[in-house]
A = this chain, B = another copy of it.
């Protein structure tokens, strides 16, 4: 992929590890959990305590919510950030929260341990530059209609400002399928690992929009080699102010974490040290060549001839 100077996979295939308050994203399996939106202090803190107890590594929660309609709930803003701060003090979990305006990066950054760039702002280049200057860990979600190349170029915007701490997050793309909210593209996991040194996590909540699909897709994501997950958990999903269909209950999240730990252990034991990642890294030299041939060589794009 052209123009990727800082984001491209390294010749020695070494992956970046992003340190968030001692949590090593890209090395540990990282689970970021919490409500879609910060709604009240009680809702947020109880959720934080619950996900911490179940084994989550970070707390997510939106204080600024981009919504299709100007009349929908837009988040609590500063009040929401202060609630997240209390939840952090209570549980020790680092905070992941979205920033949507260049003017907010600095002060939101005082509350956030990881600044999230949402799907709709993936190509908000001013915002990318500003979070690049902040130096903070950034969770960069893939745009709803974006290609891998466009996505990695957005990470390049951040790294070009001197901030190497970028975590990529696949959250589903818009397709013609309407059964699921988006189409979760798990093939981005091996693709990102092949083209870049940055870690990639999966958001099965937005990726499917259906509560019951979060478990199978989370397990599948791990198996595909994902470095972590971002999962929405709510104290009372049916009464959530946003995304009520896709948030797990505390019990569901706890059950999922048990399975994720088993799956992680299984994956580490599969084949050599850390397959499937290892086998993939071994094949890097070969795959790089093939990948290039497949994409840029005789068949310039995948629509040309799909046989079966």
Can you list the 10 inter-chain pairs with the closest CB atoms, starting with the nearest?
A: A145-B145, A181-B302, A101-B126, A220-B220, A220-B224, A212-B287, A3-B69, A223-B223, A245-B294, A219-B223
Which of B65, B103, B121, B224 lies in contact with A307, CB distance below 8 A?
B65
What are 11 A-B residue pairs whose CB atoms fall within 8 Å in the complex? Answer: A5-B71, A68-B153, A69-B305, A70-B157, A173-B175, A176-B176, A178-B301, A210-B287, A210-B294, A215-B276, A245-B294
| A262 CB contacts on chain B under 8 angstroms | 266, 270
- Answer whether A103 and B102 are a contact pair too, CB < 8 Å, given A186-B184, A191-B180: yes
* A307-B36 contact in complex given A126-B101, A173-B176, A262-B270, C-beta closer than 8 Å: yes
Q: Which of B150, B160, B203 contacts A308 (CB 8 A)?
A: B203
Known A145-B144, A156-B70, A190-B216; judge A181-B294 contact (CB<8 A): yes
Instruction: Mark the stretch among A43-51, A81-89, A112-120 that contacts chain B.
Output: A112-120
A305–B62 alpha-carbon span in the complex (Å):
15
Contact A219 B276 (CB under 8 A): yes
Contacts of A37 in B (CB 8 A): 307
Contact A176/B174 with A68-B304, A190-B217, A296-B300 known, Cβ cut-off 8 Å? yes
**A79 contacts B by Cβ under 8 Å:** no
Identify the interface centre among A36, A150, A305: most chain B CB within 10 Å of its CB: A305
Residues of B within 8 A of A212 (CB): 190, 194, 280, 283, 286-287, 290-291
Partner of A66, one of B121, B125, B190: B125
In the complex, whether A211 has a CB less than 8 A from a CB of chain B is: yes
Chain A interfacial residues counted at CB < 8 A: 115
CA separation between A144 and B301, bound complex, in Å? 15
Number of copies: 4
Q: Contacts A147-B179, A215-B276 hold; do A223 and B308 have CB atoms under 8 A apart?
A: no
Q: Which residues of B contact A175 (CB under 8 A)?
A: 173, 175, 183, 185
Q: Do residues B176 and A303 form an inter-chain contact, with CB atoms below 8 A?
A: yes
Complex interface: chain B residues within 8 A of A308 (CB): 36, 62, 98, 116, 118-119, 141, 171, 203, 206
The reply to whether A185 and B183 contact each other, CB–CB distance below 8 Å, is yes
A40 at the B interface (CB under 8 A) = no
Is A257 interfacial (CB 8 A cutoff)?
no
Given A3-B69, A223-B223, A245-B290, CB of A302 within 8 Å of CB of B182: yes
Tell me whether A300 and B301 are in contact (CB under 8 A).
Answer: yes
Instruction: State which of B67, B174, B221, B258 has its C-beta within 8 Å of the C-beta of A303.
Output: B174
Nearest B residue to A277, CB-CB:
B216
